[in-house]
Amino acid sequence: MRKIITAILLVHAFCNIDAQKPRARDMGIPFADTPGKFNAITDVKGVEVGYSTIISGQGKNIRGKGPVRTGVTAIPHQLVIDILKKYKRIK
């Protein structure tokens, strides 16, 4: 019984490791400015974030067949943004 409880506690500890990671600023790593309004990458002037979500099909999920619920987030470099704007792919 003791081994089972220990195993459960270890699994729980490892599953929560990401939630407990300290932020760089909390570890004393200096930054030139203070956090923005949302304390997020989108607070930085010139940074744009795009995303796309694909939802296809309905019903019970069958591995390898669907339905599909997936997406991607991109933080493009300013050069890429300028090229896309030049060719009117984005506003």
pLDDT digits (tens, 9 = 90+) for 41-61: 788 777 778 889 988 899 898
Contact 45, 67 (CB under 8 A): no
DSSP string, 9-59: HHHHHHHTTGGGPPPTGGGT---SS---SSSSGGGSTT---EEEEEEE--S
State the amino acid at position 36 in one-letter form. G
pLDDT at 75: 82
Predicted TM-score of the model (pTM): 0.40
- 59 in a structural domain: yes
The domain tally of the chain equals 1
Question: 70: which strand partners?
Answer: 54
- Domain extent, residue 23, equals 2-86
What mean pLDDT, rounded, does the chain reach? 78
Identify whether 72 is part of a domain.
yes
